[in-house]
Amino acid sequence: MHAALLRQQLAAFLSPAELPDDDAPFLLDQRKRYTSTDCVVVQPASVENVKKTVRFCAQHRIAITPQGGNTGLVGGSVAHGGIVLNLGKLNRIRHINLADNAITVDAGCILQNVQTAAAEHGRFFPLSLASEGSCQIGGNIACNAGGLNVLRYGTMRDLVLGLEVVLPNGELVSHLHPLHKNTTGYELKHLFIGSEGTLGIITGATLKLFAPPQTTETAWVGLDNVQAAISLLSNIKNHFAERLCSFELVSRFALELSAAHSRLAEPLHAEWHILLELTDSLPRHDLQDELAEFLCQNGGEHSIIAQNDQQRRDLWTLRENISAAQRTLGTSIKHDIAVPIAHTAAFIEQCGRDLTAQYPDIQLVVFGHLGDGSLHYNTFFPNELGDSVYRREEAVNATVYRHVLHNHGTIAAEHGIGTLKKSWLPQVRTADEIALMRAIKSQLDPNHLFNPNKLLPD
């Protein structure tokens, strides 16, 4: 159906405010690699209007591309025809249940607003991402977001107690009561978490809350190699147990980029760096001394511990600004990968050596969440910093993913598959697994209208 006619028919049951005049902010993806074409943007202001829109599209065989904050990095919220269904107007904090340590929210709630609402009630929602000021809860769930605190609190899959989802036939499945135990058959919410909008449209969620940290200690450690960082991680997990909240790996080059961009001094000079954080829900005046003593005894003597909130913020700024600093260089070929923690050093050494042999001028920006084995492994070509570098992408990916698979890893740790990586899915999933995924998709969405041409290989 032509976009103008489609918009006219949608206007029969949607208000003018739900059909934005300016589609441009919703059409271009975060990395400016993909642009939606020949489509209509819809922003339903109620769950009922999401259902009406889906029923209309099911009746007329019109594709629907769900979209949250449009902060994805793999082209998962880009449409070619049909409608882009943006959830931004579904943004209420519905309910906070302190007895169950739970918060129920609309899918379009911005992550930072959920964090703030929890804090106002003396609770803590631990999901923390660089895009938390703009990404939405529904998108976080659809991609099973991870972020900085996975080591202690898990991914989004671990933080969801219940979901409200509109199915491809327009029917609503809602289980938002915060049950902590439920063994009545298949746990259907896990079908939708990480499904990238291909099975249903998440309209609401009930999420776990936690006691806020009363004590936080943050340290920056310089190390000679990644294996030393892995040894430190193993020892610190054994000593501090659940108090270890974050354990971030930063390469020398990544730190140099971020320090220059952030206009902050490098904390230490070393080949590899770790930013780690301990938290405790009780006041612990001795935790800093205990951490300092531990580092001295376990290979972390080349380290600093933040002495105040400003120093802590500066250390985290250096970590969080790496991606922004990369953008000042130009276009990069990015990899969002994970390997078992024990294989991280071997992967970095082997893959780096292989890429450098093939491309002597290549620059590697390596950083990420060593505490859970996921890395941002990005490549630059100093003499080709525009989009023309994507002509090298297939060959670079082949090398990187070969080493990822050799080390029993995955090509998508946090950002999902989307459009960018779907051709690689058969490399990390067996034919039987993909057949099962297709069967689930066909059962729930027989006309393949929900986020078509995403996730599953052609």
Residue 250 forms beta bridges with which residues? Answer: 273, 367
Measured between alpha carbons, how far is 259 from 264 in angstroms, rounded to an integer? Answer: 5
- The SS3 call for residue 33 is coil
Shared domain for 188 and 135, answered yes or no, is yes
Q: What's CA 415's distance to the chain center, in Å?
A: 5
Residue 434 maps to a domain: no
Measured between alpha carbons, how far is 341 from 192 in angstroms, rounded to an integer? Answer: 27
Measured between alpha carbons, how far is 226 from 249 in angstroms, rounded to an integer? Answer: 8
| pLDDT for position 329 | 85
| pLDDT for position 321 | 96
Residue 456 maps to a domain: no
Domain count of the fold of the chain: 4
CATH classification of the domain holding 193: 3.30.465.10
Measured between alpha carbons, how far is 337 from 369 in angstroms, rounded to an integer? Answer: 10
Query: Which helix (H) or strand (E) segment is 400 a member of?
Result: helix 393-406
Shared domain for 53 and 146, answered yes or no, is no
Shared domain for 271 and 303, answered yes or no, is yes
End position of a domain, from candidates 183, 208, 233: 208
| pLDDT for position 327 | 87
| pLDDT for position 453 | 94
| pLDDT for position 383 | 87
CATH classification of the domain holding 32: 3.30.43.10
Measured between alpha carbons, how far is 444 from 192 in angstroms, rounded to an integer? Answer: 11
Pairing of strands 215-223, 160-166: unpaired
Phi, psi of 172 (to 5 degrees): -105, 130
- pLDDT tens digits in sequence order for the chain, 458 residues long: 788 899 999 999 999 999 999 999 999 998 888 999 999 999 999 999 999 999 999 999 999 999 999 999 899 999 999 999 999 999 999 999 999 999 999 999 999 999 999 999 999 999 999 899 999 999 999 999 999 999 999 999 999 999 999 999 999 999 999 999 999 999 999 999 999 999 999 999 999 999 999 999 999 999 999 999 999 999 999 999 999 999 999 999 999 999 999 999 999 999 999 999 999 999 999 999 999 999 999 998 899 999 999 999 999 999 999 999 998 888 999 999 999 999 999 999 999 999 999 999 999 999 999 999 999 999 999 888 888 999 999 999 999 999 999 999 999 999 999 999 999 999 999 999 999 999 999 999 999 999 999 999 98
Residue 107 maps to a domain: yes
Measured between alpha carbons, how far is 444 from 437 in angstroms, rounded to an integer? Answer: 11
Residue numbers of the domain that contains 69: 3-86
| pLDDT for position 32 | 87
Residue 432 maps to a domain: no
Residue 449 maps to a domain: no
Using CB atoms within 10 Å of the CB of residue 267, give its burial: 0 to 12 exposed, 13 to 18 middle, 19+ buried.
Answer: buried
Residue 436 maps to a domain: no
Query: Which DSSP category does 277 fall into?
Result: E
Shared domain for 97 and 203, answered yes or no, is yes
Shared domain for 20 and 74, answered yes or no, is yes
| pLDDT for position 3 | 86
| pLDDT for position 458 | 85
| pLDDT for position 218 | 98
Amino acid identity, residue 70? N
Nearest CA-CA partner of 64 in 54, 73, 55, 72: 54
Residue 270 CB neighbour total at 10 angstroms: 21
Q: CB-hemisphere CA count at 13 Å for 3? A: 14
